[in-house]
Amino acid sequence: MRDLIEVITYQDTAHAHAHHHTQIVLPLSGRLVLDVDNQQQAVEFGQACLISTHLAHTHLARENNQCLVLNALPIWDHQLESASVFVKLSDQAQAYLPFLSSLIGETNLLKTHQALNLLEHLLPIPQEKIVQADARLAKAKQRLDHAFQESWSLAELASEVHLSPSQLSVLFKRHLGMTPKQYLQQRRLTEAKRWLTSSNRSLDYIAQKVGINDASSLVRLFTKHFNTTPGHIRKSHQDEKH
């Protein structure tokens, strides 16, 4: 199996061939023509060629070039084909290429995988889009759901699911529309509301149970998120019972 990250200089031309893995060709310098499944285009820096598994491809290189090549990308489900073979890179993606190049020969595979996973948000990587398919997000949510009273930092949570803090934040925002911190706060407030409507415990006790500093912080958060106070929620619930 080829390395996950390579830098290759393409020369002349080659016979059409296919791989049993996905491949992305990202020119760093120079220019070459790539032909993928009879789709042909000249590519240079700022562009990318996404080659799905088993697609026949070849090249024609008439000038010096240097290309970053990514093989068997961990986040690309090899059973899914890319909708677009040739894509234009965003400025953010272009700026990321030198860092990826620096990882050639990196012995820490976890670091390499984490770096490559970020491409999920920089390139149109073919993948299942349902939240349940992303075990990393599901695991992070589970940690917060079951240990919401603990004092979580973004770095601690990201480490639990083997992602960088920025990668985890992007996953939460993309699929849940909020940051991990906002999700945790929402989880705590939901639990606090359950305590308010099912017990006569004091606000200080409830705040402590759900991981909020004190009663005043609980009141402030309820006012901000629910536009009402804990006392009003408790009273409204009691009135409904009578």
Q: DSSP letters along 77-141, please?
A: -TTSPPS-SEEEPPHHHHHHHHHHHHTTT-S-HHHHHHHHHGGGGTS-------GGG-HHHHHHH
Bigger pLDDT: 176 vs 153:
153
Q: Which residue has the higher pLDDT, 45 or 161?
A: 45
Q: Are residue 228 and residue 134 in the same domain, yes or no? A: yes
| Angle of helix 203-210 versus helix 215-226 axis, rounded to 10 | 80
Residue 121's CB is within 10 A of a number of other CB atoms, namely: 16
Specify the higher pLDDT residue, 237 or 17: 17
Closest CA to 234 of 207, 205, 194: 194
Cβ atoms of residues 7 and 67 within 8 Å:
yes
| Residues 181 and 241 reside in one and the same domain | yes
- Same domain (yes/no): 34, 59: yes
Distance CA 28, CA 9 (A): 10
Whether 188 shows a pLDDT value over 60: the answer reads: yes
The total number of structural domains that make up the chain: 2
Residue 110 structure tokens: 């976890």
Q: Are residues 134 and 238 in the same domain?
A: yes
Q: Do the beta carbons of residue 233 and residue 194 sit within 8 Å? A: no
User: Is 126:81 a contact under the CB 8 Å cutoff?
Assistant: yes
Q: Are residues 85 and 143 in the same domain?
A: no
The encoded tokens of residue 5 equal 């990250």
The pTM is what? 0.55
> Which residue range forms the structural domain that includes residue 85?
5-121
User: Looking at the structure, do residues 160 and 117 belong to the same domain, yes or no?
Assistant: no
Of 10-19, 42-51, 167-176, the range with the lowest mean pLDDT is 167-176
Q: Which band of pLDDT confidence, cut at 50, 70 and 90, is reported for residue 128?
A: low
Q: What is the mean pLDDT of residues 87-106?
A: 94
Instruction: State the CATH number of the domain containing residue 215.
Output: 1.10.10.60
State the CATH number of the domain containing residue 73.
Answer: 2.60.120.10
> Mean pLDDT in the chain?
89
Give mean pLDDT, residues 37-66: 94
